[in-house]
Chains A and B, each alone.
Chain A
Amino acid sequence: MKPFRFHLVVIAAAMVILASASASAGNVKIVANSSVKADSISADELRSVFLEETSSLRDGSHVEPVLEKGGPAHEEFVREYLGKSESDLQSYYRNLVFTGKASMPKSVVSDADVVAYVAKTKGAIGYISAGTSAEGVKTLGVK
C-alpha cells in the first residue's frame, strides 16, 4: 500500500502546484480602451507593448500602456507577463528614458484608476485584478 499512497501524494501535490499556477496566471485581467479593435492579445505582443518595443498591435490598433505603481495585480503582471522583477522593470524604463528611446509610461495608483484612465484614453491598455469591475472598458483575452 505504501507505494500507492506515495503516488497519490505526488499526484495530489502536482495538482495543487498546477492549480496554484493557473490561479496565479488568472488573477490579472487585461483591459483596453474601446478603440482597440482586437479582442485578444498574445503574451508576446503584450510584453512588447509594456516594454515599449511596439506601439501598435498586429491589427494596426494604436496602443499605449498604463501601469499600476504597486499592489498585487501589478506584482503579478510584472512577474508573470513581463518576466522581470520590479527593480529590473524600473531600470529598464529609465534606460529607455535617459537614452531618448521612449517616454516613461503612465502609471496610476489603483485598479479603479486604471479602469478610469483606460476608459477615457484612446488606445490605452492596462491590467487590473481579476475581481475588479471592468465597466466602460473591454477585457482582452491573452493567447
Chain B
Amino acid sequence: MRKAVLYFLFACLCAAPAHLLAQEFKVFDRTVQVHGFASQGFVHTDQNNWLTMYTSRVGSGEFTDFGANASTQITDRFRVGAQIYDRNVGHLGNWHPELDWAYADFKFRSWLGFRAGKVKTVLGLYNDTQDLDFLRTFALLPQGVYATDMRDATLSHVGGDAYGTFSLAKPLGKFSYTVYGGDHIESTDGGYPYLLQIHGIYINHSSGPTWGGDLRWMTPAKGLLVGASYENNDLTNTGLLNPSVALGGPDVTVPYWEKSRKEFVQQFYGEYVIGKLKIDAEYRRYWRDFTIFNGQFEAQAAPKSWYTAADYRLTKRLALGGYYSHFIINWVVTVPNQVEAPSESSPDRHLYDKVVAARFDLKTYWYAKVEGHFMDGYAGFQYPDGFYPQVNQAGPCAGNLCSSLKPSINALVLKTGFNF
C-alpha cells in the first residue's frame, strides 16, 4: 500500500513539472522558493545482479529517487532551508524518506560563512551533489569513487561548516575552502548494513564524530580547478547479531556493536572545462579499520579508486560522455580465521568499469539518459561495491573467491528524470 502511494506520488510529480516551475510564495514578507526533482531508472546486466537489484534477467526498474526542498533568504547574509529525499534502489533506501539537509547559513563575507544543522559533506567534486542526477551527463557517477550503494557513508553530517572563497592575489586565481565537524549519522538502508545481513548482523543505528575539510583552487588557467578533501570518521554501529546465520552458533539474537579504530577518506581531484567539453578526474583512498563482532575480531578494508571522465555538449539537446573507473580493494578479516585478500588480478579484488553515455534534454526540466557499462571484475563480497551475495548466490563466498559470479559484466542503464 505504501509503495502504491509512493508510486502514485511519483507519477503525479512526473506529470506536473510544467505547472511546478519556479514555485515561490511569501512568508512574513520573505520569499520562499520550493524546488524538487525525481528520477526513474532501469538497469539490465548480462551477468550477475548489480546494485542489489535483480538486473540480470529482464532487468530491474527498482531505481527511483526524488527530493524536494524549501529555502528562504532571511536577510542579505542569512538563509535557511531544508530538503527531504527518498530512494528505492533494489534493497537500498527502501522508500524510507530522510531529511537530506536542513541548515541555517550565515555569510559574513565571501571569505567567511558558517552553516549549522544537517549539512551535505563537501568531499571531492560530487559527494554533496551525488543525488542530483539532472546535473550531469552520466546516469551513474563513477562507481569506484561515488558508489551508489555507499552513498550514505560520506554523505552528510549534523554539525557545522566554516566556508569561504578568497584570492591571495589576482594572478593566483581563487581558493575555496570548507572545514567541518559534527556527527555522522549513516542510514541503515545503505550497502554496508545490507551486506552485513548475510552474516546475521542487523544494524539499527550507525553514528559517530566526524571532521574534515576541502580546499579547491580555481587556477589562473581558465576553466582549470584542482582540489583535495579529507574526512575522518569515528563510527559506532549497533544492532543485533544472530550467530546461527554465519558462525553456526545458536539461533538467538544478541546485542551487537562494532567500532572504527581508524577510518578516513582522502580525495584529490581536478576539473577542466573548455567550451562545451568538461574533463575531470579524481583519486580516492578510503581506509577502514574496524573492531567487529563485539570487539572479538578485526576487519580492515582499504579501497583505492580513481576515474577520469569527459563529457561534451554536442547540441542544446544532446550531450555525450564517457569515463573509466578503476577500483581496487584490499582487505583483511579475522573472522573466524585470518583471511587475506587474493592478488589484485583476481576479479575478487578489482572492478574496472568503462562507460559511454548519452543525455537527451527533452525540455529544460526533463531529460533522458542511455548508458553502457563494460565491467571487468566484481571486487568480491568483503566490501559493499555493487555486487552482493544476497542477490547473486545463497551464501557468502567459499574461501577467498566468489566463483559463482562471472568476471566480466556488461550493463545497460536507462534513466529519466525532471527537476523544477
- A residues lining the B interface (CB < 8 Å): 44, 48, 53-56, 62, 83, 85-88, 90-91, 94-95, 97-104
Contact = CB atoms under 8 A, between A and B. Distances in A.
Given A85-B275, A86-B316, 5 more contacts: A95-B129, A98-B419, A99-B129, A100-B103, A104-B35
A94 B316 contact: no
B180 to A, nearest CB: 14
A98 B129 CA distance: 8
Contacts of B83: 98, 100
A53 B83 CA distance: 21
B135 interface: yes
A91 B105 contact: no
A99 B101 contact: yes
Contacts of B192: none
A83 B71 CA distance: 28
Report the 9 A-B pairs with minimum CB-CB distance, sorted nearest first.
Answer: A100-B81, A54-B110, A103-B33, A91-B135, A98-B132, A55-B76, A62-B76, A97-B35, A100-B101
Interface string B9-39: 0000000000000100000000101010100
B120 A99 contact: yes
Nearest to B222: A83
Contacts of B273: 88
Task: Say what secondary structure dominates the interface of chain A.
Answer: mixed
Most buried by B among A54, A56, A86, A103: A103
Contact of A95 (B105, B107, B135): B135
A55 B77 contact: yes
Contacts of B319: 87
B364 A100 contact: no
Contact of A98 (B35, B136, B275): B35
Interface string B390-407: 000000000000000000
A92 to B, nearest CB: 9
B177 interface: no
B135 A94 contact: yes
A104 B134 CA distance: 16
Nearest to A88: B273
Interface in B355-372: 361, 364
Contacts of B72: 103
Interface in B215-238: 222
A44 B128 CA distance: 26
Nearest to B164: A53
B94 interface: no
Interface in B72-86: 72-73, 76-77, 79, 81-83
A103 B25 CA distance: 13
B171 to A, nearest CB: 13
Contacts of B67: 98
